[in-house]
Amino acid sequence: MCGILAVLGCSDESQAKRVRVLELSRRLKHRGPDWSGLHQYGDCYLAHQRLAIVDPASGDQPLYNEDKSIVVTVNGEIYNHEELRKLLPNHKFRTGSDCEVIAHLYEEYGEGFIDMLDGIFSFVLLDTRENSYIAARDAIGITPLYIGWGLDGSVWISSEMKGLHDDCEHFEVFLPGHLYSSKGGGYKRWYNPPWFSEAIPSTPYDPIVLRETFEKAVIKRLMTDVPFGVLLSGGLDSSLVAAVTCRHLAGTKAAEQWGTQLHSFCVGLESSPDLKAAREVADYLGTLHHEFHFTVQDGIDAIEDVIYHIETYDVTTIRASTPMFLMSRKIKALGVKMVISGEGSDEIFGGYLYFHKAPNKEELHMETCRKIKALHQYDCLRANKATSAWGLEARVPFLDKEFINVAMSIDPESKMIKPDLCRIEKWVLRKAFDDEANPYLPKHILYRQKEQFSDGVGYSWIDGLKAHAADHVSNKMMQNAKNIYPHNTPTTKEAYYYRMIFERFFPQNSARLTVPGGPSVACSTAMAIEWDAQWAKNLDPSGRAALGVHVSACDPTAPPLIAAGTNPGVLINKKQSMMEVKKAPELTINS
């Protein structure tokens, strides 16, 4: 991932303004430590902080068309750029960057080219011929983007809030799947798939089609000129990503450069469920596995940095981001710059445990639609910003456009959880990869039940956070919470603690409005309560609210590797080092 910042129509062409734009752009340098660039055209500035994944030698930005009349700054990966270049035979390319096609496609097709892009992206394009500009964000919002407005009439666009929040009168999240045009003066949606209307689909479930589409999604994400690996928690989603990557790595350009043995990475407290499960999957697949340990105190010490980087006060997001933030630093230290991850599967297939309570296929489908539409505020935000904090890029094949269209066109009756038929959550995905002749994974991994990431790294992690917050937030503070924080009033001491830190970094009203409202929104507790009133008794926005269904999985001959257990309590060992690495061999690069 890279960092982009654009200041458009600021009515100030002075050197002082250029210096200010450079200063703000440097706040995004963690996203792109490899190079920086700035293009100024009159009162418009396009800045870029580059993380070089494809064409590290010549792909510096901003990028241009032939006569430099069109300028673009991009954060993203365009996986079909080679096919798109074939549609532009009369255009001359300056670099091997996958993102350069954006400038030429605009020159050839105008604003209507965006849906031709297969990949993830946020970009700002300046057309100096017409003194106009457009900005766009990818379909699901995998890459972060914010838009703001200055008192002088300027428009600001940045990968993160920290690039614009001090200089804008108002700012907000740039909507995923949207285009912002200076000609039109506002947004218009460019991404309009059939599922977006939440109409109930009726395509029969075909496991082969689903499997092949996912494999294509993984394969295209092997486009890299730098060392890479996979994040492996040992759960279904990350294990499938690793299994498919291992199968298709041989013969790719990545394998020719870096070797055919895949690197996998896992993080957790000592003896956590994820560490055990990931180790077993890694042994089965033959990956070069790196296991990182952290303590509860290590995570607590990192909370302020985490909130600064991920720019939210949402409880579940912070809980899950912290281990990922710590792991990303270690991964980058090994020389890796890109990882493939398993985000998005639970939203598409109804994988969260409260989906056990879905009363019918119609409500299940509509809830999956709502979950996908909200991903940019939760899991996409976490995966992108927690890794980008250390100049690491995360790619998410479950959120591939084609794969989503295939998966969301399946008759949701097939996604319904039916224990009497041995169909647990995400049964359609598990069944698609249940290949007896050539197994992708062991049965008990393939049918391992959902484990919330913030629990999977160690059950004492959440309890340690709650205990720490209780030491810093008094009962009197909670009594006055609605007066201090009238918007999105925190309902727990943990939420209050995170909110205090967030407001210190981002005190503007616009900043607090970028975080979705209401308690437990991230796991749709409101919907769970609507489906089963008993869930109202548990206000914790995590998988723990599903204790009644977090039990044995479907196949009686293949029980899940991890079952729900009692809480082992809070264990904080301050004597341990920041991040112990157990059995983590040095990264080797095969030429």
- Residues serving a catalytic function are 2
Q: In terms of DSSP bridges, do strands 393-395 and 338-340 run parallel, antiparallel, or are they unpaired?
A: parallel
| Structure tokens, 1 | 């991932």
DSSP for residue 495: H
Q: Is 230 helix (H, G, I), strand (E, B) or coil?
A: strand
Instruction: Please check whether residue 519 is in contact with residue 539, taking contact to mean a CB–CB distance below 8 angstroms.
Output: yes
Give the number of other Cβ atoms within 10 Å of residue 393's Cβ: 25
Does the CA dihedral 7-399-177-165 come out positive or negative?
negative
**Residue 270 Cα distances to 267, 328, 546, 560, angstroms:** 9, 18, 24, 20
Rounded Cα gap, residues 482 and 468, in angstroms: 22
Q: Are 407 and 349 in contact (CB under 8 A)?
A: yes
- Across 102-256, the runs of DSSP E, i.e. the strands, are 119-127, 132-137, 146-149, 155-158, 170-173, 178-181, 186-189, 228-231
* 380 half-sphere exposure, CB direction, 13 A CA radius: 25
What single-letter DSSP state applies at residue 169? S
Burial class (CB in 10 A: 0-12, 13-18, 19+), 487: exposed
Instruction: Judge contact between 33 and 26, C-beta under 8 A.
Output: no
